[in-house]
Amino acid sequence: MTTVLAPDWADREARSEPYRWLATHPGELFDLAVARDLVSSFPTDGFERRDATGRPAGKTYRNYSRTIVGPGSGPPADLPALWRGLVADLTSAAYGRDVARLLGQPVAAAVEIRLVRHAPGDWLGPHTDRADKLFSHIIYFNEDWRAEFGGRLDILGGNDSAAVVASVVPELGASALLARGPDSWHQVSDVDPGMARSRASLLTHGLR
């Protein structure tokens, strides 16, 4: 099986404010040539439209999502070989130990991996993740993406969309690793409605 993640990707120090999180820049998590190959084979089938626009309380969002690994289930047979290599890395014991060390938490008991597309106009409102999660690791697959296109991951200082402490532009090969906690507020800003393409990402959730 092809190894995709760079062997030294976790040789960094997570930030501690407003909670523990880490951003990696393009080329740090894996080689940019590999990232381009992943983009060219990014799956397009099997996505489900998810729309929680009208919720009176809780997390609001609108996107397309496809689960490719769940607790006790491996990747689907139609997943391209390079993507299977990435999934193998993200479900490995070494990756679990690296994340636990970076975030100062126990090793996750299992992981869930999803592919997500935010179409023009889509977003994810301010939220903390479910209590059964230890971490979220979001990897981005968007060539030539700029901050003004929207779809930024905003690290928030509280339950307030304006309380932006830092932002991660979802450019090709970048990633963000977030420790889940009661104060781990974050959001995805609106993707520019005038965009001609979606914002593509992979989410790995570590489960307790």
Judged by DSSP in three states, 3 sits in: coil
Phi and psi at residue 111, in whole multiples of 5°?
Answer: -130, 155
DSSP labels, 153-194: EEEESSS-TT-EEEEE---TT-EEEEE--TT--EEEPPBPTT
The model's pLDDT over 146-187, given as tens digits with 9 standing for 90+, comes to 999 999 999 999 999 999 999 999 999 999 999 999 999 999
pLDDT for residue 56: 73
Among residues 125, 119, 153, the alpha carbon closest in space to that of 139 is found at 153
pLDDT (average), residues 39-56: 91
How confident is the prediction for the chain on average, in pLDDT?
95
d(CA 79, CA 42): 9
pLDDT (average), residues 24-38: 96
Given a cut of 60, whether residue 83 has pLDDT beyond it is yes
d(CA 13, CA 171): 21
Judged by DSSP in three states, 31 sits in: coil
- From residue 5, give the alpha-carbon distance in Å to each of 68, 90, 95, 121, 139: 18, 8, 9, 31, 11
Residue 109 region, left (φ>0) first, then alpha (ψ -120 to 50), else beta? Answer: alpha
d(CA 99, CA 48): 29
Those residues with Cβ within 8 angstroms of residue 111's Cβ, 6 or more apart along the chain or in another chain: 69, 71, 90, 91, 96, 204, 205, 206, 207
pLDDT (average), residues 85-102: 97
- Which DSSP category does 149 fall into? G
pLDDT for residue 2: 65
Cβ(65)–Cβ(112) below 8 Å: no
From the number of C-beta atoms within 10 Å of its C-beta (0-12, 13-18, 19+), residue 187 rates as buried
